[in-house]
A and B are shown apart, each in its own frame.
Chain A
Amino acid sequence: MLTLEKRPTPSRGWTLATPVLAVVLTMIAGGLMFALLGKNPVEAIRIIFWDPVFNTQFASYTRPQLLVKAGPLILIAIGLSLGFRAGIWNIGAEGQYIMGAIAGAGFGLAFYPSDSPLIFPGMIVAGALGGWAWAMIPAILKTRFRTNEILVSLLLVYVAEKILASAATKFLRNPEGHGFPGSRNLARIDSMNNPELISGTGMHWGVVLAFIAVIAAYVLLNRHLLGYQIKLAGQAPRAARFAGVNPNRLVVMCLGASGALAGLAGLFEVTGPAGQISIDFNVGYGFTAIIVAFLGRLHPIGILLAGLIMALTYIGGELAQLMLQIPAPAIQAFQGMLLFFLLALDVLSNYRIRIKSEGVA
């Protein structure tokens, strides 16, 4: 009979192998689901994972789009991973993303129609501050009143969504928009535009910052005292306290950093790909980034790869809808499987499977 035996330390081999295995298992189980829906599973998997990168008809367009889609995911997930490593659970990145976009767009629109070159940098600062401030609410409530940051940060997402609806229909509404909801299109205003930096690559400032964040997080975690404290607090909270780590300071740092990065992701999205504050501006990047953070093993390089894979399933999923008429919920289930298999396979990194004979048992 099979028994599980806890490993003294998580297996390094399995830690690296499980994400790959999870992707493979998702392909198999997803293929099965597509087959049950009456679609050709091999073709569906090929369209999702292969066509966005290599199809001659689409790839020249979809390849840069991978970066556009992955950029905010990576940026947010890097911020979240710092807290997650220290056992600080910011589930509300979606709200911080919204508030960053509103604060940044609001700053820029307050100066409309000025074309000062200082406006865009000011919007970036405002965006980071907006996300940071929204994350400070659960941080201060936690350090002062011991509230649970999971609940507070999550519920603040819904508050942020109401503020977003109000911004789109009232205080940031385009005065020349015939009364319809939505702000001015920032991507069409030169002083507020976050353009594609090199034509045909999908690179915009948000993607650039995502890459910088990956490197910065790597350096922080491996070379810096704060990174050491973050890791120690997550693995051995008591030991961390004896080592002089101030838990409150860590909460404020981690929530603040993840909030500011989520706010920046929102700012670069609203000034670039999305273009405007609208009622449905947020499309779940803040929540998907949680999956990306875990899929990437909370490791900066892993998150970079996981963000790209997640983006691939989105873009490939749209192609599969378009070409094979696979329903959207099936694509979402497919993405869900990825996290499901990853978490399930975590057993293998933390436990050893032993086969015992009946007699001994």
Chain B
Amino acid sequence: MKTFTKLMTSGLLALGLAAPAVAQDDPLQVGFVYVGSIGDLGWTHEHDQSRLAMQEHFGDAVETTYVENVPEGADAERVLTQMALSGADLIFTTSFGYMDPTNNVAARFPNVMFEHATGYRRDTPNMSTYSARFYEGRAVMGHIAGNMTESNIVGYIGSYPIPEVIRGINSAFIHARAVNPDVEFRVVWAYTWFDPAVEAEAAQALIDQGADVILQHTDSTAPMTVMQDAGVIGFGQASDMGQFAPTPRVSAIIDNWAPYYIARTQAVMDGTWESMDTWGGIGSGMVRIGEMTDAIPAEVRASAQALADSIASGEHHPFTGPLNRQDGTPWLAEGEVADDGTLAGMDFYVEGITAEIPN
């Protein structure tokens, strides 16, 4: 019996190995693993919209599937294995916590290509990583916030104190200060990516502290509802959140993964797929600035657009010296720009932010 099971397993493995060779006729199978619900109107929603856009682009040549609400860790590893066993040729995993599970499963299925969003580990040749330079979008939001605030207090809802979020706070702050030397940032940590009740409380706490512009790095629209009632403005996060325009949502940072998903799927079809790391920004279209509404004065809209354009062209880097760390020690000299390594592991605030990164 045991030998029989083994035979079956090896037979299946052989079938799995053979799959890419005959992929020309069969539709390419592309799987997605989501940490949230596709209805979250934020992070997962945008990944799923991009999946649908990719599906539409390729039509019958591609079949996509997804599993949502997959906890990070052991459950992710199981879902990924099931996906690979079911014949997927290419799998996208869209949360940082899937890093180890994705690498583990990739090592067991050398003929399935894996793409992990926001991570850095590529243990095997069938692993790629990708992320977006959201901090470029934050710079534009910070510019608008610095111009728009009347109380000179800008609120910021952080998810977790990790480099990704800290980078965004720094970028927004630098560009708010550039246009408004009196601006101050208040940061509230929600310790969640998606929890409407907690996010709404965080927004209320910031409003109580006098904030009249709020940036959020959490995924639900609950803060928008609070902002609407309080007459405060904010920005769509991950998704456009256009249902809250023209106020409180005056613009948005939109994750746009569709071009990347199309390019990578095409690469598997052409047999040109290679392990690589992609960190796209406004220039490559991975980060998009949502439509700026009339609530923003025309001249601020124009200068914000100019800022976005100069970031897109590479003319302006959001982290350009002179910049000091929060404690006053020099970080970047005049004209020097931050390297990607420092940005990727950023665990300090820049000078001027009065908040503290929690322990």
- Residues of chain A at the chain B interface (Cβ within 8 Å): 56-58, 60-62, 65, 68-69, 161-162, 165-166, 169-171, 178-182, 185, 269, 272-276, 278-281, 283-284, 314-315, 318-319, 321-323, 325, 327-329, 332
State whether A180 touches B82 (Cβ < 8 A): no
Q: A280-B71, A322-B65 are in contact. Are A58 and B82 (CB under 8 A)?
A: yes
State whether B85 touches A278 (Cβ < 8 A): no
- Please name all residues of chain A whose beta carbon is closer than 8 Å to the beta carbon of B70 when the two chains form the complex: 318
State whether A321 touches B68 (Cβ < 8 A): yes
State whether B162 touches A275 (Cβ < 8 A): no
Q: A178-B120, A274-B74 are in contact. Are A61 and B359 (CB under 8 A)?
A: no
A-B contact count (CB 8 A): 113
State whether B100 touches A62 (Cβ < 8 A): no
In-complex Cβ contact of B73 among A283, A319, A327 (8 A) = A283
State whether A274 touches B161 (Cβ < 8 A): no
- Residues of chain B at the chain A interface (Cβ within 8 Å): 5, 8-9, 12, 31, 37-38, 65-75, 77-79, 81-83, 85-86, 96-97, 100, 119-120, 160-163, 191, 344-347, 358-359
State whether B100 touches A319 (Cβ < 8 A): no
State whether A58 touches B160 (Cβ < 8 A): no
In-complex Cβ contact of A279 among B31, B97, B359 (8 A) = B97
- Please name all residues of chain B whose beta carbon is closer than 8 Å to the beta carbon of A279 when the two chains form the complex: 97, 160, 191
State whether A60 touches B5 (Cβ < 8 A): yes
* Bound Cα distance A315, B82 (Å): 10
State whether B345 touches A179 (Cβ < 8 A): yes
State whether B100 touches A185 (Cβ < 8 A): yes
20 A-B contact pairs sorted by A residue (CB < 8 Å): A60-B5, A60-B9, A61-B81, A162-B191, A166-B358, A169-B161, A171-B359, A178-B344, A178-B345, A181-B160, A273-B73, A273-B74, A274-B73, A275-B74, A278-B72, A280-B72, A284-B71, A315-B78, A318-B78, A321-B68
* Bound Cα distance A62, B9 (Å): 13
Taking the nearest CB of chain B, how far is it from the CB of A53, in angstroms?
Answer: 13
Taking the nearest CB of chain A, how far is it from the CB of B190, in angstroms?
Answer: 10
Taking the nearest CB of chain A, how far is it from the CB of B183, in angstroms?
Answer: 26
State whether A58 touches B161 (Cβ < 8 A): no
State whether A165 touches B160 (Cβ < 8 A): yes
Q: A279-B160, A318-B78, A318-B79 are in contact. Are A328 and B97 (CB under 8 A)?
A: no
Q: Give B35's nearest chain A residue, CB to CB.
A: A280
Greatest chain B CB density within 10 A among A269, A275, A323 is at A275
Taking the nearest CB of chain B, how far is it from the CB of A105, in angstroms?
Answer: 13
- Please name all residues of chain B whose beta carbon is closer than 8 Å to the beta carbon of A319 when the two chains form the complex: 82
State whether A283 touches B65 (Cβ < 8 A): no
State whether A180 touches B72 (Cβ < 8 A): no
Q: A60-B9, A318-B79 are in contact. Are A280 and B97 (CB under 8 A)?
A: yes
